[in-house]
Chain A
Amino acid sequence: MPQSAENILDHKDLFKEPEYQAMLEKKRATYENATPAEKVEEVADWTKSWDYREKNLARSCVTINPAKACQPLGAVFAAAGYDSTMSFVHGSQGCVAYYRSHLARHFKEPSSAVSSSMTEDAAVFGGLNNMIEGLANTYALYSPKMIAVSTTCMAEVIGDDLNSFILKSKEKESVPADFPVPFAHTPAFVGSHVDGYDNMQKGILSCFWKDAPRTAGEGINIIPGFDGYVVGNIREMKRMLGLMGVEATVLGDASDVYDTPSDGEFRMYAGGTTQEEIKAGLNAKATISLQEYCTRKTLAFCEEVGQQTASFHYPMGVQATDEFLMKVAELTGKEIPEQLRLERGRLIDAMADSQAYLHGKTYAIYGDPDFVYAMARFVMEMGGEPKHCLATNGGKDWEAQMTALLASSPFGEGCQVWAGKDLWHLRSILATEPADLLIGNSYGKYLEKDCNIPLIRLTFPIFDRHHHHRFPTFGYQGAIGVLVKILDTIFDKLDTESDISFDLTR
């Protein structure tokens, strides 16, 4: 009997015990009609071949292990950046359960959102009644200052019109007439979560900026984009701006709501950009996006209202941070202070100290378009060589930007860019043309195991490691954190594989 009260074995060890092994063996041999082991091995070997890779890359219909989610997730994330804002997703209710679970599993934090719980009758007659009743209930129960409405694909397919539904709900006094209910249509069959983020940002800004008079001022707005490291990153960015003496308005600051303290109180809402700040943001001189692909429509809207705009691809690493700070300096007329120059120097110092271990290391990188761009750039700054850059939600424009980036450095030579491909494609690619290290999110753990390439988790979602999002990846200090994670992985691998060269000092 394997189990004992003194040494309780759970799933990790229990099923390795001989009783269980014998039981599972018998099940397989007697009842499963399993494929013979030799055949399984033969097929497994084939899946690592060039022949399989060609067939895999040739598929045009099925998507397997994609590194992207759907639009409403991005909308819910965007709305979470605003003070006391409840996401209301119009359509089937299961979707909302999924977004909430997904965000809670990454941040290890509560994630609140409501659904209009549409069912068959709403599919036939439309979801107006669900909206009218739902908004009233949300308003009464959760006392939000704003309700941000997005849509599931069900509501999109049947063509529910949010604008008229919200107006009718206000007529029916679900919420007061002047209560802000920004909205965004977020069809899951268009784009990905980064587009949902964009649409909801635009929806929220439009709600406050459209038809409002603008008096151009000197302020700047910053839109962070969809970022699993939002907690550490926004705080780090604000710290850097503080050193510059710049007071920027972060449009969508979710750093507090996804990092509430344990002190006995559950805070459904925490921090976030206030409505006064949003309104004042209209007068800003410029709006800066930290992630171009998360904000294309939003920035176009900012230009429409008369603001200057600038966009970045996730300010991580040396040059990306340099450019961000210089842009802020240019827009605000403030100098970049000595302290940030020192911080930059410390990052360069760390990179120089470790360059022998970084130089020439090869990488496969996947994730959202802006993250992959930033990561590849930082890898090249460290003397690393990106071999494969993949974004399931990247298009031809991203591919062109990546190609130009890689061409800008000798370390980018030979790197392949995989726009629109998924992680099952990446499996074939890594089996035939491997890299030393894999950078991505938790889903990469299957590739790590299959292809025997160490995974470094640096982007959303991270379910199986805790608290990384509390530390920044932005800025010079964030870059040091990223550097250390990469180095730790390199050193761990080196130690694991070393015998006579098991050196104390490296």
Chain B
Amino acid sequence: MAKDIADSAEANMKLIEEVLAAYPDKAKKKRAKHLGVAETVADAEPGIQSKCDTVKSNIKSVPGVMTIRGCAYAGSKGVVWGPVKDMLHISHGPVGCGHYSWSQRRNYYTGTTGIDSFVTMQVTTDFQENDIVFGGDKKLEKTIDELNTLFPLNKGISIQSECPIGLIGDDIEAVSKKKAKDIGKRVIPVRCEGFRGVSQSLGHHIANDMIRDWVLEAGEGARAGFEAGPYDVNIIGDYNIGGDAWSSRILLEEIGLNVIAQWSGDATIAEMERAPAAKLNLIHCYRSMSYICRHMEEKHGVPWMEYNFFGPSQIAASLRAIAAKFDATIQANAEAVIAKYQPLVDAVNAKYKPRLEGKKVMLYVGGLRPRHVVDAYHDLGMEIVGTGYEFAHNDDYKRTGHYIKEGTLIYDDVSGYELEKFVEAIRPDLVGSGIKEKYNTQKMGIPFRQMHSWDYSGPYHGYDGYAIFARDMDLAINNPVWGMFDAPWKKTA
């Protein structure tokens, strides 16, 4: 082990120890398992840089520590189902959940909102005390009728359960079956109550399972009679944040593939129905949609592969890996596309690398990006000094070792306290995390980008997105405001 790696590993272990010292014993014991340092891999396989799955993950958050995590409803309504644009998604229960998640994820879509597309609307049964006491099934039935009257072009309705639904014993499955018959459209019950599981992650899983049971296996729908061509693929697990799925799709089409379904950013229910006919599932967000890929593989024989469209190194590697699943024509196309975009990559790097080289970055995001964006930073000459996930599982931490070098600080389900202390001690040049972390970090004089919503920018996927990513990292880090924090008359020598 090189000395600098050993040094940073040692410094990070010491830092973890210091931070844990603030906790009461019980919490300290629990939290210690989630904090660590990327370790040396014994018998390293090619492409593996470190061992990151030494931290525990996907475990209940410790009460009272200010976890940054959300809930199963956020994972289902907010992430998986909400972007399906031609369906109405009912936030079933009290008004808050739908309100706070209203229009916040930036899942771009085309269509006429309120007429044939409904993504940026907040539809709720707005539970009152009576609904809790007497149950909400009747209200839900009538809600579906009212929605179908007011939005006749909807192609289906999903019911996104909030906490009370599972506690008061409502039978939303029975309502769904009945109303699907009545309105002649899909009505999909999702048991994504916020108290289920430990984070958003179970919401993703439940949402996937409902796609399986209530869409893919509940009649062929648009799949009936559809004959897939040899180049038909699906994009799975791209939520089209700031248009990500579009700047990915354009590359896949350029190499000669047809994207017959895009899940779930800018998706229609017909695309989802048709997906099992494709030749290959290309999955971007492994954490949130691997479940349905495994199902389509087992049930429909659709193979799947992960890819990474963040940053030119990974884009090129992914395009080649995807093309390798097809014939020589596609492979030649992939090389041509990589070559076509190389001048753009070179120009972006020439412009931004000198401004960003050597800058240190700490990440804390959801279930994919803490590893997936790493090489995009590397492409700009930047260094990742800490990373962690809100809701990753062990297999995500395993995969993190492909990207992260030994000695890097790793934090799972980090608490507000821990993140603040880590950032304070390491003082990176940039932190990439969420809105709850943004202003805290900036007050400390450290540049920040929201890496869930792309901070209202994007897309970041694909070559077109890489240029925007580079621009945004530069504008965050190199803005003059960071140099003006100290009043000149207070400056120390």
Q: Point out residues on A near B: beta carbons under 8 Å.
A: 1-6, 8-11, 14-15, 19-20, 23-24, 27-28, 31-35, 39-40, 43-44, 47, 52, 55-56, 59-66, 68-73, 88, 91-95, 97-102, 104-105, 108-120, 122-123, 130-131, 133-138, 140-142, 152-154, 157-158, 187-190, 192, 260-267, 424, 427, 443, 446, 450
Contacts and interface: CB of A to CB of B under 8 A. Distances in A.
Given A10-B242, A153-B96, A450-B114, 13 more contacts: A23-B249, A55-B150, A70-B96, A73-B100, A92-B195, A100-B436, A104-B435, A116-B64, A189-B164, A262-B445, A263-B486, A266-B444, A446-B114
B32 interface: no
B124 interface: yes
A94 B132 contact: no
**Closest 7 interchain pairs by CB?**
A94-B71, A134-B64, A70-B96, A134-B63, A33-B270, A98-B100, A5-B347
B445 A11 contact: no
6 contacts: A11-B457, A44-B112, A60-B142, A62-B143, A94-B194, A110-B436
A64 B164 CA distance: 20
B129 A110 contact: no
Contact of A133 (B64, B97, B122, B195): B64
A215 B347 CA distance: 75
Nearest to A260: B443
Interface stretch (B207-215, B260-268, B367-375): B260-268
Contacts of B467: 3-5, 8
Contacts of A154: 163-164, 167, 194-195
B233 to A, nearest CB: 12
A96 to B, nearest CB: 8
B389 to A, nearest CB: 15
B40 interface: no
Nearest to B152: A43
A260 B351 CA distance: 35
A374 to B, nearest CB: 23
A123 B195 contact: yes
Contacts of A153: 93-94, 96, 127, 162-164
Contact of A93 (B70, B443, B485): B70
Interface residues of B, number: 127
A157 B24 contact: no
B383 interface: no
A120 B191 CA distance: 13
B438 interface: yes
A157 B270 contact: no
Contact of B243 (A11, A55, A123, A141): A11
Contacts of A40: 112, 115-116, 153
B321 interface: no
Interface of B: 22-24, 26-27, 60-74, 86, 90, 93-97, 99-102, 104, 108, 110-116, 120-129, 131-132, 139-140, 142-143, 146-147, 149-150, 152-153, 155, 162-164, 166-168, 194-198, 200, 222, 242-243, 246-247, 249-250, 253, 259-262, 266, 268-271, 274, 340-341, 344, 347-348, 350-351, 415-417, 420, 434-436, 438-445, 457-459, 463-464, 467-468, 471, 481, 485-487
B262 A112 contact: no
A414 B150 CA distance: 28
Contacts of A109: 439
A4 B347 contact: yes
Given A62-B143, A94-B70, A97-B70, A189 B127 contact: yes
A66 B95 contact: yes
Given A122-B195, A154-B164, A265 B24 contact: no
A99 B100 contact: yes
Given A157-B132, A189-B128, A64 B122 contact: yes
Contacts of A113: 66
A443 B127 CA distance: 21
A35 B222 contact: no
A190 B131 CA distance: 11
Contacts of B168: 157
A5 B100 contact: no
A32 B493 CA distance: 64
Which one of A11, A66, A187, A266 has the greatest number of beta carbons of chain B within 10 Å? A11
Nearest to B423: A266
B243 A101 contact: no
